[in-house]
Structure formats: C-alpha cells, structure tokens
Structure 1
Amino acid sequence: MKYEKFYRKSNFQKLSLLLLSPLAWASQIIPKNNEIEIYSSMNGYRISDNSKYAFLHSKNKSKYWITKNKSLLRKHHPEILYAYSIKGIIIQLRACRAYYSHSIFDFAAPLIMGSEKFNLWHGVPLKEIGPPSDWKNKSTLKKKLLTAYYRIFKHCYYMHCDYILCPQESLIRDYERFFSVSRPKIIIQPQPRNTYCTPHISTKEILFAPTHRMQIAGSDINKVIEESELFSNEVREFLKSNEITIVIRPHPVDKDNIKSIESESYRLDFSDDLYDSIKKYSLIITDYSSIYYDCKDLNIPRLIIASDAEDYIDKVGVTENYIKELKSENLLNFRNALPHIKNALAG
C-alpha cells in the first residue's frame, strides 16, 4: 500500500468535512465513557509509530485501535476496530481520550471532537511544519482568516489537538509555533516509540535514513543518494574491507521510487516499523529526519550528511535549533564521513 497523504485533502473532501460539522458539534455533547481510550496512526491505515507503542503499553482494559484498513482487522484481536463499522463509530463517539501520531484524520475526525485529543506526533520536527510551513506564502490577513476558520471547524484541521507531546523543554517555542492554531497544552514527555522500542545487540550495520524532498522540484531519493556519494568507489572499498553493511531506509513517500540495490555492502529496508530494529545499528546517518533526535534519546551514535542543506533550508525551512546542528555537524557526503564512521564504530 502506498504511503497515505494524511492531511492533503481534495476540495470534495474538504466540503464533505464541512458538511459534517453538525456531527462534530454533536459529538461534543454526547456523554463519554471515562474508561474508553482510542489510538490510531498513518491516516488510520497502519499500526505504527508513537501511537502503536502507547497502545501496546497502555494498561487500560478498554483501549481500542481504530483503523480504516480492513486488512488489519483480525478475528482474535477485538481491540482493533474498523473506523466506519457500527461499533467503531460508537467507540469513537464515546471515547474519553483519543491518541494519534499523524493527524486527527487517523480517526473519523468529526466523531472524536468531544474526546480529549492527545497528539503524540511522529517524531521531533526538524523542518518547519504547521502554519510556518503550510501558510508561509500567504498574507497576514489570510493566515488570520484560516486560523479563525480552523478554530471554529476544528474537525477540518489535521493538526487539531488538546494536548501535544514534546520530548524536550528546549523545543517548546517551536511546538508553540507549529501548533498555534489549536493552542494545545504541551506535555514534556519522551516519545513512546523510544521509551518502548525493541532492545537489540549492536551489529556492524549502519542505517542511512534520508528524508523526502517533496517541496524541492527535481529532487528525489535517487538524486539524494547520488549526491551523497554513497556508492563511490572509495566508500564501497571502505565498507567491504571493514565488513560493514549500510542499510538504506527511504521515507515512506519515496519507497516506491528508489532504485533496487544488488550489493553485499548495501541493502534496502522497507519494514513498517523502524523501532523494532533501531537499537541494532552501530551508527545512524540522516539529513533532516526526526531520527536524529531519536538517536539522542537512545544514545545511538549519529552523523549528518546533507548535500543540499542550503537549498532545503531555503525551500522547506528548518528550525533554528537544527540549523545550528547542521552548521556544526554536516559532513556533506559519505567520502567526508568515512573517518567519522570509523571512529564511531571503534568507539
């Protein structure tokens, strides 16, 4: 299944959501069951990320996973409910707490407006998200009108929440900007995917996890890899002589476009859940992925290789905190990184 675009809605979908406003308002006055909590992620199509780990480790006996993907429904897992089934609709209407990782559209959004909505998000944002990114080219007046509109029609706004989980106090200012429309209460707490990720014995494998470049015209995963000099002769020889494997994990948006690899020193990872295996890597290399902050939490050595930093900062936007990291740590390509890789694996 292709990666779902979890917040970009067609005009027809936007109109449909607006017409469901009476249902969204009604859901706010329907009595809630304080014991019921619901979880979802990836537009409701996958069991993954922070929501997955929070769900698995919740001790609540009345917890449910809401999905829009019927292939996830299993006879022996009554906790997994189809979002548009009769029971799924009732549970969403009656849930006291709703936990999501990507957007309120992980659920049938109008049904959960009366629930306390906990936004676990899918990693620490390194790039600009929310209004600073979505509306950066709009006039001040239009930004104010959009903010007012989404504060009235909350179920139409993908980032709407009552609480947002933030793993570090140093990131509070960024989170206040990103979630300025719904103005949620910020909870300082580690991400569940790091707290509960699967333990592993470290291997001689390195993870390379570049993020996607949707906002940069003409850039794709293959160009990013080429410019990183990952397959240069110097790098190939280094990997072979040191018996190191680089595991390339493309962003879900890119996984259908990446070229296949046939080499004992390289392999691709398309698994649904990185956090089942993240602790086995001796080193993780990324550019603008939230994995960078995961490594900090999990004490995994990390490097930055971003050959297009200037272009990315200009066209996508990067937080001030991460710009400082880029300036001090960016190695630009794998050839430059070889001494650092050697030191990381030796240390």
Structure 2
Amino acid sequence: MLAALSPRSANKALCGSYKEGFCDNSKYLYLHWQQTQFIRCIWITGNPQVIKQLQSKNLEVYYRWSLRGIYHALTAKYYFYNSYIGDINQWLANGSTKVNLWHGLPMKKIEFDINTGPMAQVFNPKGKLETCKQWLFAHQQRITPDLMLSPSALIDSLFSSAFKLDKTQLIRATNPRTDYYALYTSKRQPLDKIFTSNKFDSMQQNGNDASKQAPQPSIILYVPSWRDSHKQGNPYNSAFDWQQLSNHLVANNQLFLLRLHPNEASLADELTEYANIINISQLEDVYGFLQQVDLLITDYSSLFIDALPLNTPICFYRFDEAHYQQDCRDMYDYAAKLPDIAPKCTYFDELLTQLMPETIAKQQKDYQEGYRNVSELFWGRETPNAFEALEEKIGPRTE
C-alpha cells in the first residue's frame, strides 16, 4: 500500500517478461523505445543472464531487488508486462499505470473466464477459504491491469471478460511483437545465424557434390499449446513417430523446428537426435524469423493468429483433442465457429500427408477466403500499430 504514496515519473516506463525471460510483447516495446527514446524505458528482471545480455548492448536493465530496481519500481508511472505484474514487481506496483501486453490472442479460455482444468481454482475458487488461499498464493494473477491492447471487436469482448475490464480500458492496436519486424525489416533474423546446430548447415550441401549448393530447405515450425493437465510423461512421444518424421524431412528437404511452451520445454530435450529436427524451445521467441516459415503446425496455440497477416500456411494437429476438451481449459465458443483456414489432423499419418511439399503449396488457394475472413476477425482493418497507439495514449510528458 505504501507504494501508492510514492511520486511517479510520467517519463519512465518499466518492462518485464514471463519467467524472467527477455521475450514477447514487452521485449519489442522495450527495444523500440530504446531506439526512439520516446520515454525512458528500463528492463526489470531477476535473471542474471538477461541482465548480462542487455548490459552488453548498453541497454538499461536492473535486478528486481537491487536498490536501483526497487527505486525505479517505486518511481516509474508505467509498467508494461506480458503476463502478470510480477514480471516486474507485484509488491511495488501500486500507484503505477499497469499495462498488460498479454502474450496471445486466445482461443482457450484465459484468466477469470477459466472454469475447468487445474487453473480454474486459481481464478474462480469456490468458497471463502479457497478465495483467501488464492489471494495469498496467486496474488499477482488477481491484480487486474489498467490498460490492454486489443486489435478487434472480438478481442475486446474476450479481454474485457477475462480480465474484468471495461472496454474503455482497451486500446485499439496490434501487438509490439507483430509490429517490430514489419517496422525494422533489417533486424529480421536469418535462420542460419540463429541455430548453433550444424543440421541447417549440413542441409546446404547437395548430396555427393559438396561444391554445389542445395535448394534452401523448407521451414516447418511446430508450436503446440501448453497442456496444463499433463502431470507426467511426454505426450509428444505418442503423438509422433519421430524417426518416420525425420525420414520424411530428409527426403523432402524440410527442416522441422520444435518449439514447446516454456512450461514444457524440458520435454523436447530427448528429441534432438533426429536428422532435420531442431529443438528451438530455448529461443526467446520466434518472431525474428516467423516471416521465413513455410508451414506452421499448432493445435490451440494463438501463434497461428500472429501468422495470419503473413499469409503463412497453417496445419492444426490436435492429437489429444478428446483429452484436451475433457481435462484442460475449455475453448471459447467462437473458436468452434471459425471458418476453415487450414487442414485439421488427429493422427500422425494425416499430419505426414499434410507435410508433403505439393500439399503445402495448395493450401493458400484452398483456404484463401476463410483465411482472409479470420485474419480480419482477429486483426480488424487498418488497425493502428502498437507503438503509435501507446505513444498517443501516454501523450506529452513533463518531469
């Protein structure tokens, strides 16, 4: 409560990210403002590696509980975060303007809309005792933001319900993570500069004649959603025949990038020995090379929504749909009514058929109308970019 009494500078913004990473919307807002100097923008984290990374680039960053970290948490007017206020400092945020940049446009129910699965007890506990328990142990999840970005009327309705916001608290805008590389095209990341693995390099050699360059491999990105009800075991071992997939990839000059949710990243460790399959779960995010992806495979992850403006072919692989519907979070009603924008697979053999180069090539034509309609549903028409919209909202400032 005392933090609310601290004077706060309108010319200072703090940014932070989920699980102490340097990623997602707050990362790209921070990088943009570091370049434009629109406002003094400081990264706050508890991760020594992130501090070292940013300091090496002469970017302003502080450890959360250092004297400077505490000082800035008490004196910055704006907090920009990806998930929860604890990304920056949940204990010193009172009195600041809290802007949740949220990390996805949802198909699964989120936050206070969750009424099934393990997370329901956090946001909708039953009884006074459970409610008190969640205020103690899930404090930051129950702190609602002052502002959020929303690109369309559909997202207005979802965010206002899930975060208990009035629609006047929603700023019409796209997301920093989708805007950054459209604005700074020179900063897009070439794939061969990203991977430390030699798999990508080895694919550049053409069979028996090492002096001839092979065609660039097609890039397939697999980004499944977090299965929040899986307590043990690796669901991806039963969903894939990894050796058969590897054989297919080699035969068709394709590279399969495996990107698991941060809460499941360790499950990918055992899948790194197969040819043409690369685990990128450790990367901060995929936005620097998303424009280069030839096929995006997901299930319920909202990353496919970010790929819509890029016209990236998509395939939905929902190998555990029955389990997911029964034991995980419910889907929003609108999700079942979306026009078809991509093939849907339940079994691995079906997925393998969709990975054939000729099948991928046909996708844009086959799903063109539905794809365009869904893109407009999520992103609207001529929606302002996030940087311009936020700067207009913040407006002129004086110390």
TM-score, normalisation: structure 1: 0.79
The CA distance in 2 between the partners of 1:138 and 1:111, in whole Å, is 22
Residue 308 (structure 1) aligned with residue 320 (structure 2): yes
Counterpart of 1:267 in structure 2 is: 278
The CA distance in 2 between the partners of 1:137 and 1:109, in whole Å, is 17
Structure 1 residues without counterparts, runs of 5 or longer: 1-24
Residue 89 (structure 1) aligned with residue 89 (structure 2): no
Letter in 2 for 1:135: A
CA displacement, residues 32-84 of structure 1 (integer Å, 9 cap, x when unaligned): 111011111014x2211110001111232411111112333345535101111
The CA distance in 2 between the partners of 1:231 and 1:187, in whole Å, is 44
| Secondary structure in 2 matching 1:215 | coil
CA displacement, residues 97-148 of structure 1 (integer Å, 9 cap, x when unaligned): 110002100112121211111000111222112123233699887489949x
Counterpart of 1:211 in structure 2 is: 225
The CA distance in 2 between the partners of 1:114 and 1:72, in whole Å, is 27
- For the 8 Å contact 1:127–1:319, the answer to whether it is kept is yes
The CA distance in 2 between the partners of 1:275 and 1:85, in whole Å, is 31
Matches within 5 A, 1:43-192: 43=19, 45-58=20-33, 59=36, 60-74=38-52, 75=55, 77=58, 79-133=60-114, 134-135=119-120, 142=127, 146=131, 156-180=140-164, 185-192=169-176
Structure 1 residue corresponding to 2:293, chosen from 268, 281, 289: 281
Counterpart of 1:299 in structure 2 is: 311
- For the 8 Å contact 2:317–2:345, the answer to whether it is kept is yes
Following superposition, the deviation at residue 188 of structure 1 comes to 2.5
- For the 8 Å contact 2:18–2:83, the answer to whether it is kept is yes
Following superposition, the deviation at residue 339 of structure 1 comes to 4.4
The CA distance in 2 between the partners of 1:277 and 1:283, in whole Å, is 12
Structure 2 residue corresponding to 1:195, chosen from 175, 179, 187: 179
| Secondary structure in 2 matching 1:108 | coil
Are the structure 2 counterparts of residues 261 and 69 from structure 1 closer, same or farther at C-alpha, using a change threshold of 3 Å?
closer
Residue 332 (structure 1) aligned with residue 346 (structure 2): yes
Q: Which moved more, 1:201-210 or 1:300-309?
A: 201-210
Following superposition, the deviation at residue 247 of structure 1 comes to 1.4
The CA distance in 1 between the partners of 2:162 and 2:123, in whole Å, is 16
Letter in 2 for 1:344: I
- For the 8 Å contact 1:27–1:113, the answer to whether it is kept is yes
Residue 344 (structure 1) aligned with residue 360 (structure 2): yes
Structure 2 residue corresponding to 1:239, chosen from 249, 255, 271: 249
Letter in 2 for 1:95: A
- For the 8 Å contact 2:220–2:297, the answer to whether it is kept is yes
Following superposition, the deviation at residue 194 of structure 1 comes to 1.1
Structure number having the greater helix percentage = 2
Letter in 1 for 2:278: R
- For the 8 Å contact 2:314–2:343, the answer to whether it is kept is no
* Identical counterparts, % of pairs: 24
Counterpart of 2:336 in structure 1 is: 323
| Secondary structure in 2 matching 1:36 | strand
Are the structure 2 counterparts of residues 136 and 273 from structure 1 closer, same or farther at C-alpha, using a change threshold of 3 Å?
same
Following superposition, the deviation at residue 199 of structure 1 comes to 3.6
- For the 8 Å contact 1:161–1:184, the answer to whether it is kept is no
Structure 2 residues without counterparts, runs of 5 or longer: 182-186, 191-215, 365-399
Q: Which moved more, 1:194-203 or 1:262-271?
A: 194-203
RMSD: 3.3
The CA distance in 1 between the partners of 2:31 and 2:241, in whole Å, is 37
- For the 8 Å contact 2:64–2:88, the answer to whether it is kept is yes
TM-score, normalisation: structure 2: 0.70
The CA distance in 1 between the partners of 2:222 and 2:124, in whole Å, is 38
| Secondary structure in 1 matching 2:170 | strand
